[in-house]
Amino acid sequence: MESRPLLEVRDVSMVFGSGENAQYALRDVDLAVFDGEVLMLRGPSGSGKTTLLSIMGGILSPTSGDVFIDGHAMTKRSAAETSALRLQYFGFIFQDYNLFPTLSCSQNIQVALDLRGVVRGDARRIAAQTLQEVGLGNKQDEMPAKLSGGQKQRLAVARALAGSPKVMLADEPTAALDSGNGLMIMALLRDLAHARGRAVVVVTHDDRIMPYADRVVHIEDGRIKVPG
């Protein structure tokens, strides 16, 4: 039944340091992610989850192995080519929001669209629309400092959504939020996967959001743990 994965990690290993200080963060990892699913990555601290997420999105280049997005190799490319694929296919959400503090909510989204070559009038319109979608329609000109934690994360989600990513990668997106806000963020991400057929990968320690997972992958000591 399953078609070609949207994102595929093939035999990826990642070593930090060299010689006596070499440390394997990931070993021989294979993972396929399909459109329409929310995949959660779990595992103890230091097991390699963030490293894997960063490699999936082309933020880090693996020591060996390959990553494919929609059939395109992300690895063994120039930094400029990887960056272009990253912009075209991925959205990112982080625990600490990573907003631009000196820009308004709308401008935070518009700069992300500007990077993708969207012209200013369109960027303003898309920003307004995505803010509406995450329930911040009345905060367009507000500065991020004036928002609550939940609102800041919704703005970060809106910024990532605005680029219409095929894959959303989220690193502990609910860790700093109370339950209500955490569940609201997950509802937005699940809707992205289920209603719009995108893939969502979430690194999390947060038991409260586990009901939102379509699939859970466990990582230990840099390896995918096979169930059973």
Ligand X SMILES: Nc1ncnc2c1ncn2[C@@H]1O[C@H](COP(=O)(O)OP(=O)(O)OP(=O)(O)O)[C@@H](O)[C@H]1O
Check: CB of residue 106 under 8 Å from CB of residue 134. Answer: no
Q: Is residue 25 near ligand X by the rule CB under 6 A?
A: yes
Given candidates 31, 38, 39, 47, which one binds ligand X under the rule CB under 6 A?
47
Given candidates 4, 11, 16, 125, which one binds ligand X under the rule CB under 6 A?
16
Q: Is residue 43 near ligand X by the rule CB under 6 A?
A: yes
Check: CB of residue 201 under 8 Å from CB of residue 168. Answer: yes
Part of the chain binding ligand X (CB under 6 A), chosen from 40-48, 92-100, 141-149, 156-164: 40-48
Q: Is residue 144 near ligand X by the rule CB under 6 A?
A: no
Part of the chain binding ligand X (CB under 6 A), chosen from 39-47, 63-71, 94-102, 125-133: 39-47
As measured in angstroms, the least distance from the Cβ of 15 to ligand X is 9
Q: Is residue 220 near ligand X by the rule CB under 6 A?
A: no
Q: Quote the CA–CA distance of 158 and 164 in Å, as a whole number.
A: 10
Q: 65 CB contacts (<8 Å, ≥6 apart)? A: 9, 10, 11, 12, 13, 28, 29, 75
Part of the chain binding ligand X (CB under 6 A), chosen from 41-49, 178-186, 189-197, 208-216: 41-49
Q: Is residue 166 near ligand X by the rule CB under 6 A?
A: no
Query: How many chain residues bind ligand X (CB under 6 A)?
Result: 11
DSSP 134-202: TT-TT-TT--GGGS-HHHHHHHHHHHHHHT--SEEEEESTTTTS-HHHHHHHHHHHHHHHHHH--EEEE
As measured in angstroms, the least distance from the Cβ of 107 to ligand X is 30
Check: CB of residue 158 under 8 Å from CB of residue 142. Answer: no
| Helices and strands, number each (H, E), in the chain | 6, 10
Q: Quote the CA–CA distance of 26 and 220 in Å, as a whole number.
A: 9
Q: Given the complex with ligand X, which of 3 and 18 has the nearer CB atom? A: 18
Query: Helices in 65-133 by DSSP H: which ranges?
Result: 79-89, 105-115, 120-133
**Interface of this chain with ligand X, residues 48 to 67, rule: CB under 6 A:** 48-51
Q: Given the complex with ligand X, which of 55 and 161 has the nearer CB atom? A: 55
- Compute how many other C-beta atoms are within 10 angstroms of the C-beta atom of residue 228: 3
Q: Is residue 46 near ligand X by the rule CB under 6 A?
A: yes
As measured in angstroms, the least distance from the Cβ of 17 to ligand X is 6
Phi, psi of 2 (to 5 degrees): -75, 135
Part of the chain binding ligand X (CB under 6 A), chosen from 38-46, 118-126, 151-159, 180-188: 38-46
Q: Give the binding site for ligand X (CB under 6 A).
A: 16, 23, 25, 43, 45-51
